[in-house]
Structure formats: C-alpha cells, structure tokens
Amino acid sequence: MWVARVISRPLRTALDVAQQVAKGDLTSSIEVESADETGQLMLALRNMNDNLLKIVGRVRHSTDEIATACGEIATGNLDLSARTEEQASSLEETASSMEELTSTVKHNADNARQANQLAATATSVAAKGGDVVSQVVETMNSIHDSSRKIVDIIAVIDGIAFQTNILALNAAVNQAVSQMDAVTQQNAAPAASRRCCKGQPSTSRTSSCGPCPRRSTRRPARAGACGWPRSWPRRSTPRSRASCLD
C-alpha cells in the first residue's frame, strides 16, 4: 500500500497538471518533490508549462501586434479608399475638363479654319481691288490725256473762230463800204440833175435835163448801235458783235 501511494500519488498529480495544460490553464503551480522518475516527470511538466506559457505570451504579443497592424492596415485601407475616391472624383473632373478642352480645341480649330478662309477671301478681294485701282489709275491717266487733247482742240477751235470772226467782220465792213459808195453815187445823180434844172426855164427843163426828179419820200435806213444801217444784209458774226447788227 505504501508503495502504491508513493508511486500513484505523483502520477496522479502529474495527470492533473497535464489535464489542466490540456484545458489551456497554464497558471497551475507544479512542485517537484523528488528526484526520481516521478520527480523528473513533474519537472518536465513544469518546464513544458513554463515554455507553453512563454509561447502563448509571445503568440499573444504577436497577435496583438498583428491586430494593431491589421487596424493600421484597415485605417490605411480607409485612407486609401478615401484617396481613391478623391482620385476618382479628380479623374472624373479631369475627364470632364479634357472633354471641355477637346470641345474648345475643336471650336478653336473651326474658328481658325474660318479665319483662314476669310483671310484668303480678303486677300483675293484685296488683289481684285488692287487690279481695279490700277485700272482706275490707267483710266484717269487716259482721261487726263484726253482732256489735254480736248483743251488743245478747244484752243485750236477758238483760234479758228477768232480768225473766222475777223474775216467775217472784214467782209461786212467791205460790203458796208461798197453799199455806202453805191448809195452815195445814187444820191449824187439826182443832185446833179436838180442843179441842172435850176439854171434853165421851166419850158425847157423837160427837153434838156428831163423831168425833174421828185424828192424821195423814203426814209433812209436807221443806223444800228455801231453806225451800220439796219437794211444791210446780216452776216454770221460772233455773239459778242451781234449787238452792232441789231
């Protein structure tokens, strides 16, 4: 009986320690009372319990670090998600700005194309205007030359008209002189007859001198403003001398 108690009691204590360890209770205190096999078994169980406690402590510390790291990762993920959302919003705004920029570039390209067309049209119109101006200049030069020729022709015509007026005036003067001579001769014949009749008796007036001429009752032609009779034939004279013939 004593042997049984001595052997079974340490084994039962060791069994209890093993069961507590198996349940996860590492807080039990294991005492080694002997140096035999049973004591060595209890020492081994105590060392195992201490090592398991250390391992569990390290595992718990690592788990805490992992949990902290996981929390930091979660926080980082939240930050990354927020940044990603911000980047997505920025990308959307950038895409919208790019679309607006593309539309603006297209509009500017259309405006530039229209400006080029208008510039080409303006250049063509300017070239045509230059041609028209050149033609106008040539026409003005021709008109100037023609006007100079017309002035020369008018000068020649004025010279011819002046000479013609002088010739017509000379002819009119010569005709007037001729008519005055004829009138003088006509008036001289009756005067001579009257002088002849005055020196003879009345019975012999009809035989020698012929009948005495009667005094003409016709008035002489009234002279114009320049002294010429109005009955003289008119000639084509310059407008400046027409008053002398009226």
Question: Is a pLDDT exceeding 70 seen at residue 47?
Answer: yes
In this structure, is residue 206 part of a structural domain? no
Q: What amino acid is encoded at 209 in this protein?
A: C
Question: Is a pLDDT exceeding 80 seen at residue 135?
Answer: yes
pLDDT in tens, 52-77: 888 888 888 899 999 999 989 999 89
Burial class (CB in 10 A: 0-12, 13-18, 19+), 237: middle
Q: Residue 46: its pLDDT value, please? A: 80
In this structure, is residue 230 part of a structural domain? no
The model's pTM is 0.35
Report residue 135: phi and psi, to 5°.
-65, -40
Question: Is a pLDDT exceeding 60 seen at residue 239?
Answer: no
Separation of alpha carbons 103 and 94, rounded Å: 14
In this structure, is residue 73 part of a structural domain? yes
In this structure, is residue 50 part of a structural domain? yes
Structural domain containing residue 99: 1-138
Q: What amino acid is encoded at 118 in this protein?
A: L
In this structure, is residue 37 part of a structural domain? yes
Q: Nearest Cα to 198, choosing from 183, 215, 212?
A: 212
Q: Which residues contact 135 (CB under 8 A, 6 or more apart)?
A: none
In this structure, is residue 124 part of a structural domain? yes
In this structure, is residue 9 part of a structural domain? yes
Reduced to 3 states, what is the DSSP secondary structure of residue 33?
Answer: coil
Over residues 157-166, the mean pLDDT reads 88
* Domain tally, the chain: 1
Q: Residue 111: its pLDDT value, please? A: 92
In this structure, is residue 130 part of a structural domain? yes
Q: Which residues contact 236 (CB under 8 A, 6 or more apart)?
A: 168
Distance of CA 151 to the CA centre of its chain: 46
